Structure 1
Amino acid sequence: MIDLIVEIEISGLNCVVGKIIGNDYNDARFSYTVDYLQMEGSRPISLSLPLQTEAFSVHATRKFFEGLLPEGFIRKCVAKEVHADTNDYLNILAVLGNECLGAIRIVDNEAAIPVTSYKLLQDAEIKALAQEGATESVQLITKSHLSLTGASGKVGLYYEPESKKWFFPEGNAPSTHIVKQSHIRLKKIVANEQLCMLTAKNLGIEIPESFIVNVGSDNKEDILFATRRYDRKFDEDSAVLNGLRVPYRLHQEDFAQALGIAASDKYEKSGAAYLKRSMNILRSFSSDPITDQLKLWDICIFDYLAGNTDNHIKNLSLLYSKNLKSIRLAPAYDIVSTMVYDSSTEDMAMSIGGIYNINDIDRKAFEREALNVGLGKNMALKHFDKMVAGFCDAIDKASFTLMSQGFEYVDVIKQEILQKGGIRSYL
């Protein structure tokens, strides 16, 4: 029997919004509680789950809540760790749902309530996370009851910048950073992502603060990628736990969840028009729709120029205000030049002007796409031309920054991006 409570943090307070009830994951359905529906100022937890008295369908329930879970190999490892069927997303979520992306929490009525605290991580534990791949991250994930989406090994930790110490969040303690491991198959991917993120920042794209964590080994692969969570925010009235300030949780949902699209369909198929539909979401729900549409447009241009063919709709999100009353496009994240790896696809995750293969996309394709998504052609192409004109200086500056930190090999990655990314057509 499935009987899970769904909570959301609103202005620092945990609020029960509904339940997921069913015999098992095959027939479980989410519904809002009467109390939440009658609460003044209540808001939907997803644009795909509007406020209503009726329970949502099995499919609508699964599309949103399964979107909170890790994907691929990591999900299989977690399922094995918790003795669950890989397809049983609710059994897995019952274990991991204590700390999700955004402000949602999934509470299992039958589970023991863990003690809320922050535990100092020793240097050896950080080093093990970098060296032992999925095994170590899965153990931390299940211990912390923390669910982070994506296919790579990642955990949520608390970072205290003054002492440069890392802490493990237990119970209801929020994390402040997402820490991602270097990918075994894709060499130098941590440096690749940081190079792309800094380049994007230099071009005016909003990104979360990120940095490379070197565990002190001579092996250049024994590094981690830490990203400050934009869905966690400190305020003047933040509580203190174990001598550490506790951030508020801000709600977020990715565009797959907002559009009611399953995580398994995050890559656009012919004619699905994901970018147009995402722009329509911003046009209808963003508190600043014009600004956010142009921000999303800039991200798409950058993905093309940098050669990021993994630009799927789970790598784009909406960020809610603390009281859930306003919605904005979240900062850009998970930007990697996939084209530098021979094993990666040349097809973009979202088409541009009806074209998927990055080698066939050009300025004309972006012109067609601008008209398709409802942007003014002149403004859209002005953004395109500005991004192209500034790309080389931006990546040079980002590369210099990382090389000065001791990552000399980023110059090789930079050259590969210039040779294999979309920018090569304009050099």
Structure 2
Amino acid sequence: MVSTELNVWMNGEMVGVWSRTRTGGHRLTYEETWLRSPRRRSLSLSLPIGPSREITGASISSYFENLLPENDNIRRRLSARFRIRGTEAFELLTAIGRDCVGAVQLLPPGTAPEGFDRVDGVPVSDAEVERLLRSVTTEPLPGANEDLEEFRISIAGAQEKTALLCQHGKWFRPRGATPTTHILKLPLGVVGGGLQLDMSESVENEWLCAQILRELGIAVAKTEIAVFGTQKVLVVERFDRQWMDDRWIARLPQEDFCQALAVPPDRKYESDGGPGIEDALKLLSGSASPNADREQFLLAQLVFWLLAATDGHAKNFSVFLNAGDSYRLTPLYDVLSAWPVIGHGANSLSPQKARLAMGLRTKNMHYRLREIRARHYRELADKCGVPTVWDKMQALIENVPPSLAAVEKRLASDFPRTLWERISNGMLSQADAFKNEILGGGPV
């Protein structure tokens, strides 16, 4: 017997019902009206609409778990803030599922997303944004929940963040079914457990990586650095939102690779049994633009090696879901370079241990930056089925120095110089090694 239900909505249309049984099982039942809609599509590639409207199994819980923050401390704070018992996905999304990644809204039975087709928000000053950012990382105080009823958002990932609506350069806390348009990410601080890696400049790091990626021709989310009082954040423009004639904001359906492949978030890394390059290429072979998407994905893998971007796991790649179940690769997001913390001193990541999230498979599996060679990318390009990839990889390597020079000209006078030098020098060293191997006449 079903004990709890949440209705799944997309842009004012009811998609189906997510049910949890008394025994802890999960069920997704697609709504008949959704099956007749011109905007019909499966909620996920891993939850396809079939002859039966009903789906059961672990793929449902994997999909919804991936809508939530992965960090246990963040989940506990959300639980306390919204007075929830436990940190299970169903309970959390009952409280904060009104504005999820992609187009999904999760609402209790009897509640409709009123006002999805208009913009409604409460203006917030810079001081109020600063207070909101401070509250993200603090435990809630008794009686401090007065404003939470209209601000229930869920953003996946391991980093502290929140989201707001921006219209005509002004910030708003959205109300009702109005979505957020920008994610505000706080500095990571010290990470890595026992390693104590200093990522306090993660805001500048991620902004810089986005500039470099764009200069190298890789589609990436738009970002800018902003300061609200004492709080510095990276403001990320959501590419899963689209203004419609400046009257309302459509939510664009999307999902990450873990959701698309029915992989729970605790297996996002290939080394933990999660998706790797071959899985991603197989997924993208079914996209609306298979060659372009696979090429972009493989070029991103090369740039991750150049950047020492060690966190390119399956949750950091996504696809847009189109009507009729076609799909295509989204821009990149959440790219950080490890060059600033790679070194031999205390509280540093050893160069011998720095590794990519997805390995390159030749005769053996290669994850470590020091082990990966140009020939491994050549082998990958040869077997991926996209004939232009190797030429594009070589062109990208040649474009590293001028791209870095172009980005450097855009740096603010107060941009952390050491951060820039560590990342740019690391990239130039990797690019030189790649070119020298090719010019040396080795087995490339």
Where 2:380 maps in the other structure, the secondary structure is: helix
Q: 1:134 to 1:202 in 2, by over 3 A?
A: same
Where 1:26 maps in the other structure, the secondary structure is: coil
1:214 matched to which residue of 2? Answer: 227
Alignment of 1:5-404 (within 5 A): 5-9=7-11, 14-23=12-21, 26-39=24-37, 42-52=40-50, 53=52, 55-72=54-71, 73-109=73-109, 117-131=120-134, 134-135=137-138, 144-161=151-168, 164-185=169-190, 186-217=199-230, 222-236=231-245, 238-239=246-247, 246-269=248-271, 274-284=276-286, 286-321=287-322, 323=323, 326-342=326-342, 346-353=354-361, 354-376=365-387, 379-403=388-412
Where 2:320 maps in the other structure, the secondary structure is: strand
Q: 1:3 to 1:131 in 2, by over 3 A?
A: closer
TM-score normalised by the chain length of structure 1: 0.86
* Shift in Å, 1:84: 3.3
Aligned partner of 2:172: which letter? F
Q: Structure 1: which 5+ runs fail to align?
A: 240-245
- Computed over aligned residues only, the root mean square deviation of the Cα atoms, in angstroms, reads 2.8
Q: Structure 2: which 5+ runs fail to align?
A: 191-198, 343-347, 434-444
* Shift in Å, 1:40: 5.3
2:418 matched to which residue of 1? Answer: 412
Counterpart contact for 1:154–1:178, Cα < 8 Å: yes
Counterpart contact for 2:26–2:58, Cα < 8 Å: no
* Shift in Å, 1:3: 1.0
Aligned partner of 1:171: which letter? G
Where 2:166 maps in the other structure, the secondary structure is: strand
* Shift in Å, 1:293: 1.2
- Quick one: distance in 2 between partners of 1:419 and 1:309? 17
* Shift in Å, 1:128: 2.9
* Shift in Å, 1:23: 3.1
* Shift in Å, 1:355: 0.7
Q: 1:128 to 1:40 in 2, by over 3 A?
A: closer
Counterpart contact for 2:42–2:325, Cα < 8 Å: no
Larger radius of gyration: 2
- Quick one: distance in 1 between partners of 2:149 and 2:189? 21
- Quick one: distance in 1 between partners of 2:201 and 2:395? 29
Counterpart contact for 1:97–1:146, Cα < 8 Å: yes
Task: State percent identity of aligned pairs.
Answer: 25
* Shift in Å, 1:338: 2.5
* Shift in Å, 1:233: 0.9
Counterpart contact for 2:77–2:139, Cα < 8 Å: no
Please identify runs of 4+ aligned residues in structure 1 that moved more than 6 A: 110-116, 136-142
- Quick one: distance in 1 between partners of 2:200 and 2:331? 26
Aligned partner of 1:28: which letter? H
- Quick one: distance in 2 between partners of 1:76 and 1:391? 43
